[in-house]
């Protein structure tokens, strides 16, 4: 269900062009015809913890849970009751993680689940103060850093994006406050991220469905903060600034959506095919709206994750695209909640399969910026306590519901 749309695009563009794209031809931002983006500026000094969640947010969560307040208490209890939070959780590391489209080895699922488990235990430790959870997170991360060497096959970029984003969040929380995770093990984990994850999540995939590059950029910026790598951070910011406007449409873009950055798709017919047959564009529509809302949810979540991590590092990417993100949230929340799709939208049929993907963006746009997002707020409440999609979204009611704390 997450496979690249090569078959349809091959009929449109020809196999030679697609082969070049799949091998990384083209560079982000080239040939898009868009205005030059602002300079990507990495912080002189990275803030820790600062990947998706910051220290002030974690402190607020602790206060809410200790006071028995909702929705945080229910969210914490749900997390604690999940298999990911079990202190006897057993990781299953693999040397090679080979993930084909819509298939793959057992290691593909194991890696994603183990990364979420490490993040879950990091959060459990942060809220409860029980060192056993921090030790379990370290044990899971150490098991993988001692073992994994490579990711292969068609979905390697997406697999490393999903698992890598959770690894970075887990490592960031634990490393920031648990000195028992000692330097040799930390350095080995950092080396794992550099060698087995970063090459894949920084690959160029311009003509693939946009949820790929957004998820990859989510992982890349999280790793950049944990690794304190300004070059990777700035590249992730550039990719965000290029891909988000090409994924979510605003009427100010013109009659047609912006083409995928660095790609080969730019005519009206090519764009309609890329947008799953959609030819009428409205504010907030997404490139994969007419595919299903599950992939739109992935993209909304990844977009918010990138902006949230950058915000914790002193760079406000939210404000640059607040109108676009807000329109996308409200557009899709309305139909996810059951509004009838008009004929011009996906032929009148939409697949309402969005997961727990809106808490982070809602918290910032409404809580910090004061935007009014009534449909999104209604959707978030209906999904609480938000759990995990078992890919790269986890426990965001706990961490971000009504938590507009400063960086």
The pLDDT of residue 104: 79
Rounded-to-integer distance, Cα 72 and Cα 397, Å: 7
In degrees rounded to 5, what are phi and psi of residue 228? 55, 50
The pLDDT of residue 102: 82
Q: 63: which 2 tokens?
A: 């206060």
The pLDDT of residue 40: 67
Q: What would the pLDDT profile of 169-221 be if each residue is shown by its tens digit?
A: 999 999 999 999 999 999 999 999 999 999 999 999 999 999 999 999 999 99
Alpha-carbon distances, residue 163 vs 32, 70, 198, 222, 223 (angstroms)? 30, 29, 12, 11, 11
Contact yes or no for 311/407 (Cβ under 8 A): yes
**Residue 147 burial (CB count, 10 A):** 16
The pLDDT of residue 160: 98
The pLDDT of residue 26: 29
Residue 211's Cα: distance from chain center in Å?
Answer: 9
Using left for φ > 0, alpha for ψ between -120 and 50, and beta otherwise, residue 6 falls in: alpha
First to last CA, the chain: 36
The low-confidence residues of the chain, meaning pLDDT below 50, are 1-36
Residue 152, SS3 per DSSP: strand
**What DSSP character marks residue 368?**
I
Residue 78, SS3 per DSSP: helix
Alpha-carbon distances, residue 222 vs 50, 302, 310 (angstroms)? 8, 11, 9
Residue in the structure block whose two tokens are 């920084």: 202
Q: Is the N-terminal amide bond of 49 cis, ω within 30° of 0? A: yes
The pLDDT of residue 194: 98
Across-strand partners of 394?
388
The pLDDT of residue 407: 74
């Amino acid at each position: 269900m997450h496979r690249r749309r090569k078959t349809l695009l091959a009929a449109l563009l020809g196999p030679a062009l697609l082969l070049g794209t799949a091998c990384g031809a083209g560079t982000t931002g080239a040939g898009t015809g868009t205005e030059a983006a602002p300079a990507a500026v990495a912080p002189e000094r990275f803030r820790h913890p600062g990947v998706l969640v910051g220290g002030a947010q974690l402190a607020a969560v602790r206060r809410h849970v200790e006071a028995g307040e909702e929705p945080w208490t229910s969210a914490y209890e749900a997390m604690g009751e999940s298999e990911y939070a079990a202190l006897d959780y057993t990781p299953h590391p693999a040397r090679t993680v080979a993930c084909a489209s819509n298939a793959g080895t057992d290691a593909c699922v194991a890696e994603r689940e183990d990364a979420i488990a490490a993040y879950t235990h990091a959060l459990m430790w942060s809220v409860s103060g029980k060192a056993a959870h921090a030790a379990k997170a370290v044990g899971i991360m150490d098991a993988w850093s001692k073992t994994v060497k490579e990711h292969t096959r068609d979905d390697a970029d997406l697999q490393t994006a999903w698992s890598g984003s959770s690894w970075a969040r887990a490592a960031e929380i634990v490393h920031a406050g648990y000195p028992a995770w000692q330097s040799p093990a930390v350095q080995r984990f950092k080396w794992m991220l550099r060698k087995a994850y970063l090459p894949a999540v920084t690959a160029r995939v311009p003509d693939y469905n946009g949820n790929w590059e957004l998820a990859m950029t989510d992982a890349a910026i999280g790793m950049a903060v944990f690794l304190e790598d300004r070059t990777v951070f700035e590249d992730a910011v550039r990719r965000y600034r290029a891909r988000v406007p090409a994924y979510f449409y605003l009427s100010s873009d013109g009659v047609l959506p912006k083409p995928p950055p660095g790609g080969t798709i730019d005519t009206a017919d090519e764009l309609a095919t890329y947008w799953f047959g959609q030819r009428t564009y409205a504010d907030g529509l997404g490139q994969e709206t007419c595919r299903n809302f599950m992939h739109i949810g992935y993209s909304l979540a990844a977009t918010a994750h990138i902006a949230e991590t950058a915000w914790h590092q002193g760079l406000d990417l939210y404000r640059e695209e607040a109108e676009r993100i807000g329109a996308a949230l409200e557009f899709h929340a309305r139909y996810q909640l059951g509004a009838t799709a008009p004929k011009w939208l996906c032929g009148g049929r939409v697949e309402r399969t969005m997961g727990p993907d809106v808490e982070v963006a809602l918290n910032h746009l409404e809580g910090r910026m004061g935007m009014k997002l009534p449909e999104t707020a209604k959707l978030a409440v209906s999904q609480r306590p938000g759990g995990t999609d078992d890919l790269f979204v986890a426990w965001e009611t706990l961490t971000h519901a009504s938590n507009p704390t400063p960086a």
